[in-house]
Amino acid sequence: MQLVKADLMVSLDGIAAGRDQTREHPFGAHVGQRLGEAWMFEHPEESQAEIDAIVDAGAFIMGRNMFGADRGDWDLDWQGWWGPEPPYHGPVFVLAHRPRPDLVMAGGTTFHFVTDGHEAALDRAREAAGTRNVSIAGGPGTTNAFLARNLIDELRLHVVPFTLGEGIRVFDGVPDLTMVPVSSRTTPYVTHLTWRKAAAG
């Protein structure tokens, strides 16, 4: 059965990004690379299964802020944070207010820019994914929007052992929501937590 999954790196106080995002600081200046630095880049062998799972989907959805720091009109020279070969290797549907032509990258990633809302992006991603899962690839505002619509079947939080104090938190603006704990695994650098949406009724 196809599932909609989401991953977020968060601090102990639930912050997944700062509010001062720029091209130089994708997560905000006061956050920097701290949310993923130790467990994703310095010690990836400790969390390889979780790292692999983040990009194991048939299609992806992300917000415009996850794609880039620009606001207003598109800078068509900007092709994302990931260089010429992004890690998705499949269709990525970017939520946006302004249209932009599809962006085809090396390695099988194509960014499609969706201007008619979250549900429309999910419908397109489900169709593109076929029998595989759909991933909500961030950032936190987009993840919270899908949580608020009760459209995420599985939420995976990667919790790093420090607080940030200020920023965009997971579950901000999300109404009453019941999820069932599935698994947890702790390394010296991060705790991986997984929940599933509670069964109806």
Does residue 144 surpass a pLDDT of 80? yes
Pairing of strands 59-63, 15-17: unpaired
Q: Which residue has the higher pLDDT, 176 or 110?
A: 110
Give me 109's structure tokens.
């990633």
Alpha carbons 66 and 44: distance in angstroms, whole number = 22
Please report which confidence band the pLDDT of residue 89 belongs to, taking 50, 70 and 90 as the band edges. Answer: very high
- Give the pLDDT band (50/70/90) at residue 23: confident
Q: Do 88 and 137 meet the contact criterion of CB atoms below 8 Å apart?
A: yes
Neighbours of 133 (CB within 10 A): 20
| b/e burial code for range 58-94 (CB count within 10 A of at least 16 → b) | bbbbbbbbbbbbeeeebeeeeebeeeeebebbbbbbb
Q: Residues 121, 114: contact at Cβ < 8 Å? A: yes
Structure confidence at residue 41 (pLDDT): 95
pLDDT at residue 10 is higher than 90: yes
| Cα–Cα distance measured from residue 136 to residue 152, given in angstroms and rounded to the nearest whole number | 8
Mean pLDDT over 166-185 rounds to 95
Q: Do 109 and 89 meet the contact criterion of CB atoms below 8 Å apart?
A: yes
Cβ of 45: how many Cβ atoms within 10 Å? 7
Question: What is the band of 71 on the pLDDT scale with cuts at 50, 70, 90?
Answer: confident
Write out the H or E segment, with its range, that includes residue 93.
strand 91-95
pLDDT average, residue stretch 5-20? 95
Average pLDDT over residues 60-76: 92
Tell me, which fold does domain 4-75+84-197 have in CATH? Dihydrofolate Reductase, subunit A (3.40.430)
Grade residue 200 by pLDDT with cuts at 50, 70 and 90.
Answer: confident
pLDDT-derived band at 114 (thresholds 50, 70, 90) equals very high
Specify whether the CB–CB gap between 60 and 68 falls below 8 A: no
pLDDT averaged over the chain?
A: 95
Q: What is the mean pLDDT of residues 12-36?
A: 91
* Residue 59 dihedral angles phi and psi, to the nearest 5°: -160, 160
Among residues 168, 159, 161, 142, which one has the least CA distance to residue 195? 159
Task: Please tell me the predicted confidence (pLDDT) of residue 196.
Answer: 97
Give the mean pLDDT of 53-65: 97
Q: Name the residue among 158, 144, 161, 140 with its Cα closest to residue 12.
A: 161
Lowest pLDDT segment from 29-33, 37-41, 85-89, 117-121: 29-33
The span from the CA of 107 to the CA of 114, in Å, is 21
Per-residue confidence (pLDDT) for residue 201, from 0 to 100: 60
pLDDT at 27: 87
Spans of all domains in the chain = 4-75+84-197
pLDDT at 21: 86
Helices (H), 25-63: 48-54
